[in-house]
Amino acid sequence: MLNPQTEKFYQTLFDHIPKGELSITRVRQGFEKLMSSFPAQPDVHFEEISIGKLFAAWVHTPGCTKDRVILFLHGGGYISGTFYSHQDFIGRLAQATGCYVLAVDYRLAPEHPFPTALEDCLLAYQFLLKEKIPPANIFIAGTSAGGGLTLSLMLSLRDHHEPLPRAAICICPWVDLALTGKTLDTSAGKDILQKDRIQKAADLYLQGHNPRDPLASPLYADLKGLPPLLIQTGTRELFLDEIERFAQKAQESKVKVKLQKYEEMIHTWQLFASQIPEGQKAIAEIAAFMKTV
C-alpha cells in the first residue's frame, strides 16, 4: 500500500503527463520541464568537460573521491533527456556512494539512430581508462534507456575483449525494444509510461534495424561473462515483465544478479527521491550494493 506522500505525488505527476500525439520537440521540452522541477541539491558540483564531441560532466559532492567512479547514462527513450535533466538523482547518487560520477550526454535519435548512443557510451568508458582509472574501480549505472545502454555497453566490451567494469546498476532498464513484455499491456494506466509512446521511441531509435539485435535489446543477448548486476524495478512499471525475464536469463548464465522489486513503484521512481521516500531507499540500496562487490 502506498504511503500518503507517495500517493499524492503520483497524482500530481500523472496529471502532468501530456495527452495525445507529441512531436519530438514536445517530447523533449516536456521531459526537460518535468525534470527541472527536481534540481540538484546546493552542495552538488558539476564540472563540465568535453570527451571528443561529447558533452559531459564530473559530478560530485563534498567528500567524494575518484577511488571509485560511476559512469552514468541517462534515460529518455533514446530520444530525449540530458544529464542535467537527471541532476538531482546524479547528485544523490554521488553523495550516497562517495564516488565521482561521470555523466554523459550521448547523442539522441532520430537525428542519431542506433548504434550512435552506444558508440558514444563506449567513448566515455574509454575516456575513463585513458584517465588511468582501473576497470575494477569503475561502475556503470543507467536509468531506463540508459539502463539498456549500460548492458549494451558491457556486451560490446566483452565481445571486443575489452576490460569490463567492476559491476553495473540497471535502474528500470529498457531491455526489449521488440516490446514483447506482458506488463506493457497489463500495467497500462498504472505507470507514467505509455506503450504507444514507447513504440514510437523504439522506431525513432532503430529506424528499421532489427529490434532483437542484442546490442539494442540486451534481453536477446548471450549474457555469459558479464560482471555483477544490481537491477531495480517497480511492480507498476510497464517494463516489469521484460526486466524479470532478463534477470532470470542473466542468473541462468551464471551472472551475479541482485533483483530488487519495489511494490507499487512506477518507472524510474528513483528520479523523484526529493519527493518520495522510496526513491531515497532505492539510492541507499545502490550504495549498499556497491560496497558488496
Q: Which residue has the cell 554521488?
A: 94
The kind and range of the H/E element at 258 are: strand 257-262
Closest by CA to 280, choosing from 22, 53, 13, 41, is: 41
Place of cell 559491476: 167
Mean pLDDT score, 266-281: 98
Do the bridges between strand 138-143 and strand 167-171 make them parallel or antiparallel, or are there none, so unpaired?
parallel
Dump the DSSP string for 102-120. EEEE---TTTS-TTHHHHH
> Which pLDDT belongs to residue 193?
96
Who's near 42: CB < 8 A, 6+ residues apart? none
Q: Identify the pLDDT of residue 17.
A: 84
Q: What is the pLDDT of residues 23-41, one digit of tens each?
A: 999 999 999 999 999 999 9
Q: Is the pLDDT of residue 21 over 90?
A: no
Closest C-alpha to 177, from 27, 108, 28, 77: 77
Helix (H, G, I), strand (E, B) or coil at 256: coil
Catalytic positions are: 144, 237, 267
pLDDT digits (tens, 9 = 90+) for 251-263: 999 999 999 999 9
Confidence at residue 189, expressed as pLDDT on a 0 to 100 scale:
94
Cell (9 digits) for 271:
528520479
Sheet harboring 65-73: ordered strands across?
45-51, 54-60, 99-105, 65-73, 138-143, 167-171, 229-234, 257-262
Contact 150, 173 (CB under 8 A): yes
Q: Are 172 and 200 in contact (CB under 8 A)?
A: no
Q: What's the mean pLDDT in 148-172?
A: 99
Write out the H or E segment, with its range, that includes residue 112. Answer: none
pLDDT of residue 1: 78
The DSSP letter of residue 100 is E
Looking up cell 576497470 gives 135
**Where do runs of H (alpha helix) occur along 131-170?**
145-159
**pLDDT attached to residue 155:** 99
Q: Residue 20's pLDDT band (boundaries 50, 70, 90)? A: confident
The secondary structure of residue 240, as a DSSP letter, is: H
- For residue range 65-100, what is the model confidence (pLDDT) as tens digits? 999 999 999 999 999 999 999 999 999 999 999 999
> What's the pLDDT score for residue 22?
87
The confidence score (pLDDT) of residue 134 equals 98
Q: How many residues does the chain have?
A: 293
As a whole number, the mean pLDDT across the chain is: 97
Q: Residue 250 and residue 207: Cα distance in Å, rounded?
A: 28
Which grid cell sits at 87? 541532476
Whether the per-residue pLDDT at 176 is higher than 90: the answer is yes
CB neighbourhood size of 211 (10 A) = 18
Q: Is 234 helix (H, G, I), strand (E, B) or coil?
A: strand
pLDDT reported for residue 18: 82
Cis ω before 110 (30° cut-off from 0): yes
**pLDDT band (50, 70, 90) for residue 173:** very high
